[in-house]
Structure 1
Amino acid sequence: MSARTRALALCTALVVALLLAAALAPLPFSVAYPGMTANVLGDDKGKPVITITGAGTRRTSGQLRMTSIVATGPEAPVHLVDIIKGWGRTDEAVMPREAVYPVGENTEEIAEHNAAQMRRSQDTATRAALGLLHKSPKDIKVKLSLQDVGGPSAGLMFALGIVDKLDGDGTGHDLTGGRNIAGTGTITAGGRVGAVGGVPLKTQAAHRDGATVFLVPAKECADAHAELPRGMRLVPVTTLDGAVDALKALRTGGKVPSC
């Protein structure tokens, strides 16, 4: 074997070794999938998701579904083959790990952080809903109960659920118009709706669970269109009162915003 052949063989072996190392080495990514959805107007594990005391509530029809994603944990290894597979599928998304888990180094820390965010989201959703209805939190108490879900992205749907239970559309009708409506978005106490991420997977979760309308933060319209299920109607929102107005228009056949 000539020196040139030996050198070429050595180089080839090194390249193969590097490729194998890259394929087998864990990478700083997570793979996300469509998660669970829950009707905030209904029950979760035998308990009402929304319980209101201090004011009369309405019987509601239709559904308001919060949506979620699930992702490989911060300690789960993700390899090159997983990333290539995820890029080729519509029901998976490869995301930088820090985008999925911006806080915490392990499952316990992240669960604690997400639970704290959920509690804050529930508080701000209550304040936003009562503020929209000009009702005092001193007189009305709202308890939100949704197990196994963390983070702030259910804020909009929680707020809409509170509004529907207390006031509906203000004329005796349900906000839903009897439809199965899903959505996502953070919310501030002043009623501003914020972006959340993972929207293409959430629209798929909503479609899987029977929703035909999806309320999406306006800034994420383009993302929502990326893998939009057939027959799913997108409604962009920026505020809680805008979302209420859009649902009223949807029920009455009025002009509804679109992405």
Structure 2
Amino acid sequence: MFSRLTRPRALAVCAVPVVALLATAAFAPLPYSLTQPGLTADVLGENKGDPVITITGAPVRDTTGQLRMTTIEATSPDTPVRLGQLVDAWFSTDRAVMPRDSVYPSGRSTREIERYNTRQMQASQDDATRAALGYLGLDGKGVEVTLKLADVGGPSAGLLFSLGIVDKLNGDGADGDLTGGRTIAGTGTIDPAGKVGPVGGVSLKTQAARRDGASVFLVPKAECGDAKAELPAGLRLIPVTTLKCSACTAAGRALPAACGTAVRRPCSGWPPGIRGGRHPCLA
């Protein structure tokens, strides 16, 4: 036999599990990471007292300006993140909420993740070196490049490593600096053929870049939309697809519209072995 509940009592009974669920969600750890703008480092300079780029077997130029790789900082994989923290970060312009699996490999311990990030960084450095030397037409057996950057893991500095090597060996190809004395920042993976790939977290990296004095930011073309989301005032956003495109743009010989495809000036003064053809930033 069933008795009929009055409407107020029925609502009260139904509210109990809802309140319990919300209370559990408020205190239970959730599968997300909180991220914010991280450090930047000038690959043409020193990091913790050591040169980031050391080259032997070929003449090395003195450079001016800066090429700054950018990072994000994220809560560690074993740090619990609560609902209140997510809500707070969601409405913040200098923090972001990202699925933990998009920041860290799933199913691995903190130590395993550290080793994984270290391997990714080493592979990125090897690819960056091969891409830069190949771009300049130099023999990797005769030129030795050592890259050293403390406390940073992952592959996203690949593009800036390559540009740094190019600047130290060849500059802009016309006896000038690749940077033209400016502070240029950016992000992007790179493969041995010089193709630039996406990395994630670009809207936070643009903030880190501007904070540390950059006026130009090189972003993988596929991530232009994300980079524009919180673009700081005074920072020009330039989409790139290849090392050739990036070097030409950094040298000021090719300036696509911000995250577009219009070219304001043609690219000339190609490095050794590179000859005209389709504009590199439109590849």
TM-score, normalised by the number of residues in structure 2: 0.87
Give the conservation status (yes or no) of the 8 Å contact 1:31–1:94. yes
Say if 2:170 is the partner of 1:155.
Answer: no
Residue of structure 1 in register with 2:175 after alignment: 172
Identify the residue that residue 258 of structure 1 maps to in structure 2: 258
Q: Secondary structure at the match of 1:73?
A: coil
Q: 1:18 to 1:116 in 2, by over 3 A?
A: same
The residue number in structure 2 matching 1:112 is 115
The amino acid that maps onto 1:71 is A
Contact 2:65 2:182 in 1 (8 A): yes
1:102 to 91, 102, 105: 105
Partner of residue 226 from structure 1, selected from 222, 225, 229: 229
- Give the AA of the match of 1:258: A
Contact 2:39 2:72 in 1 (8 A): yes
Q: Percent identity?
A: 60
Larger helix share, 1 or 2: 1
Determine the structure 2 residue equivalent to 1:21: 24
Aligned partner of residue 71 in structure 2, secondary structure: strand
Give the corresponding residue for 2:270: none
TM norm structure 1: 0.95
C-alpha distance 255-12 of structure 1, shift in aligned 2 (>3 A): closer
**Does structure 2 retain, via aligned residues, the 8 Å contact 1:33–1:70?**
yes
In structure 1, runs of 5+ residues without a counterpart are none
Partner of 1:141: 144
Report the Cα offset of residue 15 of structure 1: 1.9
1:35 aligns with 2:38: yes
Over aligned residues, Cα RMSD in angstroms?
1.4
Deviation of residue 104 (structure 1)? 4.9
Structure 2 unaligned spans of 5+: 260-283
CA distance in structure 2 between the partners assigned to 1:78 and 1:247 by the alignment: 39
Question: Structure 1 residues 231-240 or 8-17, which shifts more?
Answer: 8-17
CA distance in 1 between partners of 2:229 and 2:147 (Å): 32
For the residue of structure 2 that corresponds to 1:77, the secondary structure is coil
AA aligned opposite 1:32: T
| Structure 2 letter corresponding to 1:227 | E
Between stretches 126-135 and 74-83, larger displacement belongs to 74-83
Higher alpha-carbon deviation: 11-20 or 61-70: 11-20
Q: Which of 202, 206, 214 lines up with 1:203 in the alignment?
A: 206
Q: 2:135 aligns with which of 132, 143, 160?
A: 132
Aligned counterpart for 1:216 among listed residues 215, 219, 230: 219
After superposition, give the CA deviation of every residue in 1:42-84 in whole Å (9 maximum; x if it has no partner): 0000000000000110000000000000111111111111111
| SS state at 2:38 partner | strand
User: How many equivalent residue pairs?
Assistant: 255
